[in-house]
Amino acid sequence: MRADHDVIASLVPVGSRVLDLGCGDGSLLEELIRRGADGLGVEISDDGVLACLQRGVPVLQDDIDKGLDDLEDDSFDIVIMSLTLQAVHHPALVLREMNRVGRKSIISFPNFAHWRLRTQLAASGRMPVSPLLPYTWYETPNIRLCSIKDFEALAQAEGFTVEERILLNEGGAREGSVTQRAANLLAAGAVYLLSR
């Protein structure tokens, strides 16, 4: 399991009804179900949907950029979007939909303002590559890169309350307390637990 998945799983209470947006191959949702959650994934790619079905993970094939019209208000305890925010065309719409269908949201993303990325760009003049942003610019699925400050401003504008912020290192594991003082510069990524 990816290190950030372990962090996310630690935030999901046993017995929660979970929706995983952009669930990919279903590995996170499979682990959450194994730990006692009742889960459903949403994935757009044929390969991802097939991988979920092969794992026995319930999945809908849909485009989250168009909203979650097939899902009722408050139908989930937790809505998760793990390393997917930067790959959607309409992040504000997706956040509003997460807020509508779930009581709480967990979102993880790479921090494009991390000092190593800034240094790579400044030193080489080329788009940076890192463990949390592993693609070259011409192969990346990422279209909306943001910083921790950018995300917090969007979450506030969309009416979310930050219940918990967990900063990640380049391997996706929890950062130490020193990073808290300058999160936008020192954290490679973040996981947020949000409520309305």
Q: Residue 161: beta bridge partners?
A: 195
What's the pLDDT at 133?
83
User: Per-residue pLDDT averaged across 140-154, rounded?
Assistant: 93
Interval 129-151 mean pLDDT: 90
Residues contacting residue 122 through CB under 8 Å, at least 6 positions apart: none
Q: What is the pLDDT of residue 3?
A: 82
What's the pLDDT at 1?
66
196: pLDDT confidence band, cut at 50, 70 and 90? confident
Given a cut of 90, is residue 49 above it in pLDDT? yes
DSSP 174: B
Cβ atoms of residues 85 and 146 within 8 Å = yes
User: Do the Cβ atoms of 23 and 29 come closer than 8 Å?
Assistant: yes
> How many angstroms separate the CA atoms of 171 and 110, rounded?
11
First-last CA distance in the chain: 29
Give all domains of the chain, ordered by start, each with its CATH number. Answer: 3-195 (3.40.50.150)
Mean pLDDT of the residues in the chain: 94
Lowest model confidence (mean pLDDT) among 26-40, 46-60, 153-167, 174-188? 174-188
Q: What would the pLDDT profile of 64-115 be if each residue is shown by its tens digit?
A: 999 999 999 999 999 999 999 999 999 999 999 999 999 999 999 999 999 9
Inter-residue contact 25 to 59 (CB < 8 Å): no
CA dist., res. 56 & res. 7, Å (int): 23
How many Å apart are CA 41 and CA 21, to the nearest integer? 6
Nearest residue to 101 (alpha-carbon basis) of 18, 15, 11: 18
**Number of other CB atoms surrounding residue 20 within 10 Å:** 31
pLDDT at 178 over 80: no
What CA–CA distances, in Å, run from 143 to 85, 91, 120, 139, 195? Answer: 9, 10, 19, 11, 26
Mean pLDDT of 26-46: 97
